[in-house]
C-alpha cells in the first residue's frame, strides 16, 4: 500500500519535495527582489526629481517656467528655460518607461500633474519642439493627459 510505496520511493519523494521547496523559495526571493528594486528605483527617481527641481532655487529666473501667465510671444523661451523643461520631459519619460516596464509603481495623480505642467505656456512651446523627437507611446500618454485636463 501507501507505506510500501513510501519505503520504496522515499528518496525520489524527498528529492521532489526539495525541488518544490526550492522553487517556492526562489519565487519568494524573486518577489522580494522586485519589491527591493522598485523601492531602489523610487529612491533614484526621487533624487533625480529633487535635483532637477532644485535648479529653481539655484536659478530663480527659471520660475517663469511655472508661470501660467507667461507670454512666450512677448518674451520668448530663454535657452536655460528650454533646457530646464527638456530635463523635466526627459525625467518624465524615464518614469513613464519605468512604470510601463513594471520597474516603478504608478504614481497617484501622475496624469493630473502631467496635464498641469504641459499646460503651462512655456512648456507648451518647448513640448511642440520636443514632441517630434519623442517616442510615440510617450507622446500619446502626454497628449491623453492634456486631453483630460
10-residue mean pLDDT series, the chain (149 residues): 76 86 87 79 81 89 95 96 96 90 77 94 97 95 85
Given a contact cutoff of 8 angstroms between Cβ atoms, the answer to whether 122 and 70 are in contact is yes
Whole-structure pTM value: 0.75
Dihedral of CA 129/134/140/141: which sign? negative
What does the alpha-carbon distance between residue 36 and residue 40 come to, in Å, rounded to a whole number?
Answer: 6
Task: Determine the pLDDT at residue 1.
Answer: 65
CA angle 38, 146, 91 (to 5 degrees): 35
Q: Give the pLDDT of residue 36.
A: 79
Per-residue pLDDT at 149: 47
Q: Which three cell numbers stand for residue 6?
A: 513510501
pLDDT of residue 73: 96
Q: What is the pLDDT of residue 11?
A: 83
pLDDT of residue 115: 95
Amino acid at each position: 500500500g501507501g507505506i510500501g510505496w513510501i519505503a520504496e520511493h522515499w528518496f525520489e519523494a524527498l528529492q521532489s519535495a526539495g525541488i518544490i521547496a526550492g522553487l517556492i523559495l526562489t519565487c519568494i526571493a524573486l518577489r522580494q527582489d522586485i519589491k527591493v528594486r522598485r523601492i531602489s528605483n523610487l529612491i533614484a527617481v526621487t533624487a533625480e526629481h529633487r535635483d532637477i527641481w532644485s535648479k529653481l532655487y539655484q536659478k530663480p529666473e527659471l520660475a517663469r517656467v511655472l508661470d501660467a501667465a507667461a507670454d512666450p510671444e512677448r518674451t520668448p523661451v530663454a535657452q536655460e528655460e528650454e533646457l530646464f523643461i527638456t530635463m523635466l520631459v526627459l525625467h518624465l519619460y524615464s518614469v513613464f518607461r519605468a512604470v510601463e516596464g513594471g520597474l516603478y509603481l504608478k504614481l497617484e495623480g501622475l496624469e493630473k500633474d502631467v496635464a498641469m505642467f504641459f499646460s503651462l505656456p512655456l512648456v507648451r512651446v518647448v513640448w511642440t519642439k520636443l514632441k517630434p523627437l519623442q517616442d510615440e507611446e510617450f507622446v500619446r500618454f502626454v497628449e491623453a493627459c492634456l486631453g483630460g485636463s
